[in-house]
């Protein structure tokens, strides 16, 4: 008896969680499955999320990142995020500080003129 192939279960390769309050985007979490990294997924998620936040009126984006997370820091730097502060002992599991990063859309507009 012939039958169609069984459907493959859906897999989540990555996600971005953020909120927009007033004119601020707060990026809460960006993650990509370890087997799916180095394929541009985080870049695409961040780009789409920032575009959506901007369309909602965001003028600044904020996030925290571990100083030891070099790949994430490189990604955020490539988007133009700047270190604006540090939160001491932010992460409960390691007591590691968090770097506070910000991206300002106003600077993007000023540089285009």
As annotated, the active-site residues are 64, 76
Q: What are the residues whose beta carbons fall under 8 Å from the beta carbon of 63, sequence distance 6 or more?
A: 26, 27, 28, 30, 76, 81, 100, 101
- The count of other CB atoms within 10 Å of the CB of residue 9 is 5
- The count of other CB atoms within 10 Å of the CB of residue 30 is 20
- Which of 14, 78, 72 minimizes the C-alpha distance to 41? 14
- Which of 30, 15, 101, 20 minimizes the C-alpha distance to 53? 20
């Amino acid at each position: 008896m012939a039958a169609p192939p069984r459907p493959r279960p859906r897999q989540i390769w990555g996600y971005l969680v953020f909120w927009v309050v007033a004119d601020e985007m707060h990026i809460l979490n960006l993650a990509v499955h370890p087997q799916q990294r180095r394929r541009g997924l985080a870049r695409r998620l961040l780009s789409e999320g920032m575009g959506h936040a901007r369309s909602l009126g965001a003028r600044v984006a904020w996030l925290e990142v571990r100083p030891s997370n070099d790949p994430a820091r490189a990604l955020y730097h490539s988007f133009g995020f700047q270190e604006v502060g540090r939160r001491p002992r932010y992460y409960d599991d390691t007591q590691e500080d968090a770097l506070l990063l910000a991206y300002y859309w106003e600077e993007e507009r000023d540089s285009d003129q």
